[in-house]
Amino acid sequence: MPGETDLHKTLKKEACRWLYRMGYRCIAAEVRLSPLGIIDAVGTGVFRPYHNYLFSGRDLPQVCFIECKASRSDFLRDQSKDGQMSLCLMERSGNRRRKRPRRKLRQSIGLGKFDACLLQPMANLHYILAPAGIVQKKDLPPRWGLLSFSEGGVAVVVRAQWQENSRIQYVESAIARTLTGDIYRADDRAIGSVNREIFAQQQALAGRIRTLRPRVVLASVGSP
Q: Which residues are paired to 32 by β-bridges?
A: 38
CA distances for 189 relative to 27, 177, 185, 193, angstroms: 22, 18, 6, 6
At 55, the pLDDT band (50, 70, 90 cuts) reads very high
Averaged pLDDT for residues 187-203: 78
Averaged pLDDT for residues 95-102: 55
Q: Which residue has the higher pLDDT, 119 or 1?
A: 119
Q: What is the dihedral of CA 99, 101, 102, 107, to 10 degrees?
A: 160
pLDDT (tens digit per residue) in 202-217: 888 888 877 775 555 5
Residue 147 backbone dihedrals phi, psi, to 5 degrees: -115, 135
At 105, the pLDDT band (50, 70, 90 cuts) reads very low
Q: Which residue has the higher pLDDT, 189 or 133?
A: 133
Q: Which residues are paired to 46 by β-bridges?
A: 61
CA distances for 157 relative to 152, 166, 218, angstroms: 14, 23, 79
Task: Give the end-to-end CA distance of the chain in Å, rounded to a whole number.
Answer: 67
Per-residue pLDDT at 109: 42
